[in-house]
Amino acid sequence: MSLAAESLAQLQGRTGVRSEGLEPALCVSGRCDYMERATLKDIAMRAKVSITAVSRALNGYDDIGEETRNRIIEIARELNYQPNFAARSLVTQRSGVMGLFVLGRVKGEGFSHPFSGQIITGILDELTSRGYDLMVFSATRPPGENEPSYLDLCRRRSVEGAFFMGLRLDDPWLPSLKSSPFPIAVLDMALMGRNTHSVGIDNVAGAYDAVRHLVDLGHARIGFINGYGEAMVSHERLQGYKAALLDRGLEYDPALVVMGDFTSEGAERALRELMQHSNDITAVFCASDLMATGAMKAAFDMGLSVPHDLSIVGFDDIDLASVTSPPLTTVSQPRYELGETAGRVLADACSGLQPPSRVLLKATLVVRGTTCSPPTKQ
């Protein structure tokens, strides 16, 4: 398997998005039309100026008059001009391209997951404002031993830095990323290295707040539907779950923790398993909103009322969370800000600045309709 880069459906037509396997394009008009390339000479002839003037106008130099610059830009739009990135990088020794690796366990999972879109939009908006393009790679598993590594792919495409979403703790290429010769930014994993930067959510505090909310409502038997063991966020949210119980004087019972694989279907199975093992559970904390919706479905199928028989809390605050019936109490992650921050950190690092090696953003509990006090014992 090779890592195949693909463009995001929701980002199609966005200026600055390039994808592996397609002819790289920068769309001055914001539309990606593939046609015969116009050159600086074509624009210069149409505008009746020198090639140097065209180059300086399109690169933002202030020694070109505003009227001339606007005329050159308009002609570039009309001709659908696409810069020669290879030639530009030879001159500047910089490609102006960042890589984004989106890793999922099944095809399309990274892109289609409702949590990812706003993060990627935040990354792209920040990079666009800094003059960078984005090349997107996706894969369902890490590269094999005889396949190009993440860093090899970055070198082949001359990216200046790379983002990673969905890395797993068992990824065999993690050591190589720690020693990357160029800046990388990892989302939701603390990866320490000379050129590595980690940007994420305070998952421990977010999970702590969710469970504390349930305990404060009077719940004492609280199940936890976690994701999977290879995700660092699963360990962090479990840590917050445990801490909230212990701080409120409740015993941690490992039998009340089951894995739901970060899917709705997995959470349905997990809730049934929990209720069969401990029918005195009155509340469940789920490590993602998708799993919370699966738990809600399973509860309804079992004849349980949410929240009167069973309170449920999710994590993420995806768009679906506010329109479930009842609306889901959840921990909200600032997804766009997360992407924007990652973009700023990596762009700063590639510019020779020294951004922090780790940035944690605050998650916020949003109380809606799926939580209330536990039912009164008969």
Q: In the chain, which ranges are continuous DSSP H helix?
A: 40-47, 51-58, 66-78, 85-92, 109-112, 116-129, 150-156, 174-178, 203-216, 232-247, 264-277, 289-301, 335-350
Q: Please, which pLDDT band fits residue 272 given cuts at 50, 70 and 90?
A: very high
Confirm whether 227 is domain-assigned.
Answer: yes
Q: Which has the closest alpha carbon to 296: 287, 281, 284, 279?
A: 284
pLDDT digits (tens, 9 = 90+) for 275-291: 998 989 999 999 999 99
Confirm whether 18 is domain-assigned.
Answer: no
Confirm whether 272 is domain-assigned.
Answer: yes
Average pLDDT for 325-352: 96
What CATH number is associated with residue 314? 3.40.50.2300
Q: Please, which pLDDT band fits residue 65 given cuts at 50, 70 and 90?
A: confident
Confirm whether 65 is domain-assigned.
Answer: no
Which residue range is the domain that position 316 belongs to?
Answer: 203-333
Confirm whether 287 is domain-assigned.
Answer: yes
Instruction: Note the pLDDT of residue 7.
Output: 33
Least confident segment among 64-73, 78-87, 214-223, 311-320: 78-87
Q: Which pTM does this prediction carry?
A: 0.77
Confirm whether 310 is domain-assigned.
Answer: yes
- Which letter, b or e, does each residue of 218-232 get, where b requires 16 or more Cβ atoms within 10 Å of its Cβ? ebbbbbbbbbbeebb
Q: Please, which pLDDT band fits residue 88 given cuts at 50, 70 and 90?
A: low
Confirm whether 279 is domain-assigned.
Answer: yes
pLDDT over 50 at 2, yes or no: no
Confirm whether 238 is domain-assigned.
Answer: yes
pLDDT digits (tens, 9 = 90+) for 107-131: 545 566 667 888 999 999 999 888 8
CB-CB contact of 159 with 307 (8 Å): no
∠277-329-374 over CA atoms, to 5°? 50
Q: HSE (CB half, 13 Å, CA atoms) of 189?
A: 22
Instruction: Note the pLDDT of residue 32.
Output: 34
Q: Which residues contact 353 (CB under 8 A, 6 or more apart)?
A: none
Q: How far is CA 94 from CA 86, 90, 346, in A?
A: 9, 8, 14
pLDDT digits (tens, 9 = 90+) for 181-218: 999 999 989 998 889 999 999 999 999 999 999 999 99
Q: Please, which pLDDT band fits residue 37 given cuts at 50, 70 and 90?
A: low
Main-chain dihedrals φ then ψ at residue 209, nearest 5 degrees: -65, -40
Q: Report the first-to-last Cα separation within the chain, whole angstroms.
A: 59
What total number of domains does the chain contain? 1
